[in-house]
Structure 1
Amino acid sequence: MRIISLVPSHTEILFALGLGDQVVGVTSHCDYPPEVEKIQRVGLFGNPNIEKILSLQPDLVLLDSRLQGRCKQELQEAGVEVFDFFPFTLEGLFTGMERLINVAGGEDDARQVVDELRMKADQLIKRAKQHPSRRLIFVMGSDVLATPGPASMQYGALSALGLELYPVDFHISYLPLSWGDVAKFDPEILLVCGRVPGREEQKRCPGCSIKNRPCARDVEEIYHVAEIADVKAVKERKVFTVPCTFFCRPGPRLLEGMEWLVGMLEEDHVQNYDHRR
């Protein structure tokens, strides 16, 4: 089967399931795993090139119709099978992977991968819920701020860990907000898009023209935002910059972000316990 992926997370899923050798096209934003470097590019994630896609004669195209609805329609009109996938929950992610295995003809090894991911997620959830719930907000963007809502995978992953998140209506994917809104919520933990201390700055994504890229932000910048100076997370130095791969790509590496966060919660619990002794 000839497969094209128009979403970076879908590309990662294909390779994790052992279907990478069937992938003949990806977008310029698909940068993991390293094997994708040699695969034909078919445009940007937000603007796939329908002519290039059709020229590769795919049997199956993976996409997210929330952003690629027009592309989906054109592909279906051309008789190309489409796998439309945008999970909001961990179980939605895993069942979607299982559906993909059925569609693409994956082997038993692929199902084992999903079983192991589901088991790891369950273990992380159990670890997280051994500790008191914490107020947490994930702030995305730089000049314009937003936080994930229930119609997003970021919210699904964070809420699964039993965290108290910023209140957002169930049908909203991303809610615009201000630093003043963050201050009113007074989170105990503040996550922001940015560069992880000690890691190299992320390369500019293809087509990105943002002057103040949130992915390149240093955590110390947040500590100097005047509007949140009295927020508990700021006072207690519980502000963390996180890369896109931690929570913004609903695929296998999402669990790495969850594991990092659970480890941070456990370390914080131990520190608080020591302070009370």
Structure 2
Amino acid sequence: MRPVRALGASLVIGAMALASACGGSGDSGKDKGGASGGGPVVVQASNGSVTIPATPKRIVSLSPTHTETLFAIGAGKQVTAVDELSNYPADAPRTKLSGFKPNAEAVIATKPDLVVLSNDMDGIVDALTKVKIPVLLEPAATKLDEAYDEIEDLGKATGHTAEATKLTERMRTGIQQTVAGASKAAGGRQLSYYHELDNELHTVTSKTFVGQVYALFGLQNIADGADKASGGYPQLSQEYLLRRDPDMILLADTKCCGQSGVAVGKRPGWSALSAVKKQNTVELDDDIASRWGPRLPDFVKAIAAAVQKASASK
């Protein structure tokens, strides 16, 4: 497994290393008290039951997805530091902190009263827990319900339960409506796709979180047959991809690797692909396509637009 895109690496690492874990916000109503009322609250995260003594005022996020969520649920003013890859929203307090090679001393120096992350790299969770800093480990979602659960976990932990619930409801409704509209436009046409993680042809299969989003539209993933290691993130050969000839090519490497519909068309043999000839290549935003947070509906809309266009040209 070689996820060369740093922005998507958290999704890959979390899905493979922590596939069985998820934030358990489904029982949020069982706990007495609440951060919005001063605490304490108990959140069931991947690292177990986490007690948050009082409403956090100095939150550190070491996950771009969770940074987006914190701001989306109204907890942005409580966030005092985020990792170097947390580039959205623009006013997030970015630092040199790393979510992939976390330095416990550097995190502690920011004096957080809550740390949120998606990967327990280099024993960061234990290191922070030993000095009594509450830590929420919310790994990369492996299915939609886990993404919603994690948002509600963060809402509960930060005193924004109602806002988190409203956000997940909007996301669910928006996604359902988008999928329904695109499926109707497709008129039952069976379409195949290739989702590109980098220009070395690393991709995703249907078993990954991203693959499950595509599956909402009933699409066929050409990479499923190439996943010999059953890891969900195979590297395709040029010959394999050309032979499979997908109806759609979706590029999630426009920022990291400078890829585009024009660039793809210049690759050896790619000009003969149906997706290239019919201009069914889609340039995705790398960040949106690799995160499982509040902007997930935007990713779904991009897929829907691709489905509608490809259906019309089928």
Mark yes or no: TM-score above 0.5.
yes
Distance 2:135 2:117 in 1: 7
Match of 1:88 in 2: 142
Of 47, 66, 72, the residue aligned with 1:10 is: 66
Is 1:35 the counterpart of 2:91? The answer is: yes
| Aligned partner of residue 41 in structure 1, secondary structure | coil
**Conserved 8 A contact 2:114-2:133:** yes
User: Structure 1 residues 173, 246: closer, same or farther in 2, change over 3 A?
Assistant: same
The code of the aligned residue for 2:302 comes to W
Pairs within 5 Å for 1:1-277: 1=56, 2-36=58-92, 39=93, 41-65=95-119, 68=121, 70-85=123-138, 86-130=140-184, 131=186, 132-142=189-199, 144-150=200-206, 152-165=208-221, 166-167=223-224, 168=227, 172-195=231-254, 202=255, 213-214=256-257, 216-271=258-313
After TM superposition, give the deviation of residue 156 of structure 1 in Å: 2.6
TM-score by length of 1: 0.81
After TM superposition, give the deviation of residue 120 of structure 1 in Å: 0.6
| Aligned partner of residue 44 in structure 1, secondary structure | coil
Gaps of 5+ in 1: 196-201, 203-212, 273-277
Distance 1:35 1:169 in 2: 43
Distance 2:238 2:99 in 1: 29
Distance 1:44 1:15 in 2: 19
| Aligned partner of residue 155 in structure 2, secondary structure | helix
| 1:128-152: CA deviation from partner (whole Å, max 9, x where unpaired) | 332223101101112x331123554
Gaps of 5+ in 2: 1-55
After TM superposition, give the deviation of residue 15 of structure 1 in Å: 0.4
The code of the aligned residue for 1:139 comes to E
| Aligned partner of residue 136 in structure 1, secondary structure | strand
After TM superposition, give the deviation of residue 224 of structure 1 in Å: 1.4
The code of the aligned residue for 1:140 comes to L
| 1:6-46: CA deviation from partner (whole Å, max 9, x where unpaired) | 1111100110011111111101111111221xx26252332
Distance 2:246 2:145 in 1: 27
User: Structure 1 residues 141, 269: closer, same or farther in 2, change over 3 A?
Assistant: closer
After TM superposition, give the deviation of residue 64 of structure 1 in Å: 1.7
After TM superposition, give the deviation of residue 173 of structure 1 in Å: 4.1
Distance 2:94 2:181 in 1: 41
The code of the aligned residue for 1:225 comes to R
Match of 2:13 in 1: none
**Conserved 8 A contact 2:152-2:165:** yes
Higher strand share: 1
Distance 1:129 1:120 in 2: 14
Distance 1:245 1:263 in 2: 18
Distance 1:170 1:113 in 2: 37
**Conserved 8 A contact 1:124-1:161:** no
Match of 1:198 in 2: none
User: Structure 1 residues 83, 187: closer, same or farther in 2, change over 3 A?
Assistant: same
The code of the aligned residue for 1:109 comes to E
Distance 2:129 2:107 in 1: 12
Distance 1:150 1:75 in 2: 36
The code of the aligned residue for 1:124 comes to T
Distance 2:308 2:80 in 1: 42
